[in-house]
Structure 1
Amino acid sequence: MKNQRLAHELEQEITSFIDSKGSLMLAVSDPEGQPIASYSPFVVYQGELYILVSALALHTLALQNANNASVLIIDDEADCDTVYARRRLQYDMAVESVVREDELWHIIGEALLRRHGDIVAQLLQLGDFQMFKLSPRSGRFVKGFGRAYELAPNTLVSDQLDHIRG
């Protein structure tokens, strides 16, 4: 019973944490295997993350050719007691392009507009902007020293968390 309550509280904390952040850190490899780190505003829809990025950015070509990416959603340094124990979510993600003509493009575009404001309407009209769906394969929620939890596979938020003991 206590473990179920803790898992439910962690699930709510993770949901609130994701909702409070406007952008994510993104790591992907280019076609030659060179790492690229970047960031992007995002929106959550049906348990997956969606980003809208310019083809002029280095990470966009890498995303087009990648099967996976790593995503980090993290507290700002100014909001934590120590830089070594920032609260964070890390996910291993499958990457998939969203076709501009697809209904999903419009659904996600509207969600991005509501979350990030009028600039999104302009970006959606630009031909070089592309949308990607990032689907979680695995994830980890770190609340601080000795408080790290593995998420159940294929979920952003899970009530099935395993405490990691080192």
Structure 2
Amino acid sequence: MTTQEVELFLETFQTLIMASLTPDGAPHASTAPYVRVGNDFYILISTVAQHGRNLLSNPNVSLLFVEDESQCTQPFARKRITIEAIASEMSRENDVYISVIESLKARFDAELVTSLTQMGDFHLFKLSPKSGSVVMGFGKAYRLNENLEVLTQIIAQHQRGHGNG
């Protein structure tokens, strides 16, 4: 497994699956379109939506990029990348904000993105990776660093005897 293979897999997605935490600590799963700049993922979401409120109250988030089920040959070994990240809200006055909004317009419906940015409840969040993992099949699991570079293979000893004795 190479860092380039991780990059190529990530390029196949337009949306990410996100697990955030509600203010009372309950997990909440959602999805959002994104653009990636460097190693950071940017999402434009509403704070009326639960995931937007979650990111404002707790910046810890987990991202999932998973192989389409229609392309998957073995559901138990479905290809996926999981990234632990920190969310931060981007100020509208920030130069990065303007640049990322232009990237969102280029990748998605420009008119819709423009409309969303004019709504007061839509905020741009930067999701900065801290660590991650990639699974490309049985025995093909690897740790990723904050730059999404492949570090080491995850090797675990499977145990027998759990279940029906």
Q: How many pairs are equivalent?
A: 155
C-alpha offsets along residues 58-85 of structure 1, whole Å, 9 cap, x if unaligned? Answer: 1111100113111101111011102222
Q: TM-score, normalising length from structure 1? A: 0.88
C-alpha offsets along residues 25-74 of structure 1, whole Å, 9 cap, x if unaligned? Answer: 10011111111110111111121111110122111111001131111011
Higher helix share: 1
Amino acid across the alignment from 1:162: T
1:12 aligns to 2:4 (yes or no): yes
CA–CA separation in structure 1 for the residues paired with 2:9 and 2:36: 12
Stretches of structure 2 that go unaligned for 5 or more consecutive residues are 157-165
1:28 aligns to 2:30 (yes or no): no
**Counterpart pick for 1:140 among 133, 137, 140:** 133
C-alpha offsets along residues 74-116 of structure 1, whole Å, 9 cap, x if unaligned? Answer: 1110111022221111011011111122111111101111122
CA–CA separation in structure 1 for the residues paired with 2:155 and 2:20: 28
CA–CA separation in structure 1 for the residues paired with 2:71 and 2:105: 27
The answer for the alignment partner of 2:153 in structure 1 is 163
Matches within 5 A, 1:107-146: 107-118=99-110, 119-146=112-139
CA–CA separation in structure 2 for the residues paired with 1:112 and 1:15: 19
1:41 aligns to 2:36 (yes or no): no
- Bigger Rg, structure 1 or 2: 2
After superposing on structure 2, the runs of 4+ consecutive aligned residues of structure 1 that deviate more than 3 Å are none
1:68 aligns to 2:60 (yes or no): yes
CA–CA separation in structure 2 for the residues paired with 1:98 and 1:37: 22
Give the CA deviation at 1:132: 0.6
Q: TM-score, normalising length from structure 2? A: 0.89
CA–CA separation in structure 2 for the residues paired with 1:138 and 1:164: 14
User: Helix, strand or coil: the match of 1:149?
Assistant: strand
Give the CA deviation at 1:117: 2.6
Aligned-residue identity in percent = 35
User: Helix, strand or coil: the match of 2:103?
Assistant: helix
The answer for the alignment partner of 1:150 in structure 2 is 143
CA–CA separation in structure 1 for the residues paired with 2:123 and 2:108: 16
The answer for the alignment partner of 1:56 in structure 2 is 48
